[in-house]
Amino acid sequence: MTDRRASCIVPPLLLQRLLESRDAGVRAAALSTLLTTTRLRGERVVRASQVGSPPPAQARRTISDCQHRTDLATAVVARTEDGPVSADPSVNAAFDGFGTTRDYYRQVHDRNSIDDRGMRLDGYVHRGVAYQNAFWDGQEMVFGDGDGEVFTDFTGSLDVIAHELTHGVTEYTSGLEYSGQSGALNESVSDVFGSVVKQWSLGQTAADADWLIGADVFTPAIGADALRSMRAPGQAYDNELLGKDPQPGHLRDYVDLPDTEEGDNGGVHVNSGIPNHAFYLAATGMGGRSWEGPAQIWYAALLASSRTADFAAFAATTVAQAAALYGADAREAVAAAWAGVGVQPG
């Protein structure tokens, strides 16, 4: 299993862009979020389990309220598996999002929670003041409320919740290293299953899905479709405040960035657009519902991949899994999808 690091839904490059805003409040919120993210990277927060917690084989959910503080140890339990519905919409949205994601992995992939051993699902809402992110730190998921000007409450986006919990699944399977192409694959796998969980919950076909990640995280005042688009990488947003979506959708446009915090660990959130688009092409090429074929192939490939897999290696694994699971037609569809983004399986 890979080293556990906080994986955040809003990439550092976007927050760095907000530091250039003319609005002092937007700048302050972005700076505070960036500083928190830097501190969380590489950190594993270890706390004792709550007294009276159930055995780990039940994948039970607990949502706690940070009450705008940053110390998770002081958070107050707001909803449990056996408790009543909360009066707080954020608590309920997080609880329901956890349940949908858990049920997807159980029913579609026969996976028992994040670790496949019934790992409990702990969430924390209302972290800090104007915190512009949501993250998985290897042990729990934490949600900010946003600043109300650029970002809104992060519990309102099911694909964001599924994205972050899938980082945990990746930790307990291939453990894709969070750097360069393997890091971009790590991010892409989370986007893939974030989108698929949303499609599964809505009963959508691949043709009907919006293929947007984080479509609900921006306030209505921000002219942006989402954080990322799997259908059209590089076109999720384009405005003065956020700049232009930097994601490429083809290997020829791969963005070389430093393997540093400021460089997004070699552009993991940027270059994930390439494998993201490959999955979109595979799902729409195969047709039907994405969780019934393409997601099964990608999940099998995740289980079979090494920590250092690059695009070509992962592509080869998906092609092999497509052939093994569904035969020649699926193999051709997956190979064509990777060819569509310029990746030669090898």
Catalytic residue positions, numbered: 164, 269
Contacts of 241 (CB under 8 A, 6+ apart): 17, 18, 21, 26, 150, 222
Q: Residue 232: helix, strand or coil by DSSP? A: coil
* Burial of residue 121 (number of CB atoms within 10 Å: 0-12, 13-18, 19+): buried
Considering Cα of 71, then 73, then 76, then 81, what sign does the dihedral take?
positive
Q: In what helix (H) or strand (E) does residue 77 lie, and over which residues does it extend?
A: strand 76-80
Cβ atoms of residues 14 and 45 within 8 Å: no
Task: Report how far residue 324's alpha carbon sits from residue 321's, in angstroms, rounded to the nearest whole number.
Answer: 5
* Burial of residue 256 (number of CB atoms within 10 Å: 0-12, 13-18, 19+): exposed
Cβ atoms of residues 251 and 238 within 8 Å: no
State both tokens at 293. 């074929």
- How would you label 288-302 residue by residue, b for 16+ Cβ within 10 Å and e otherwise? ebbbebbbbbbbbbb
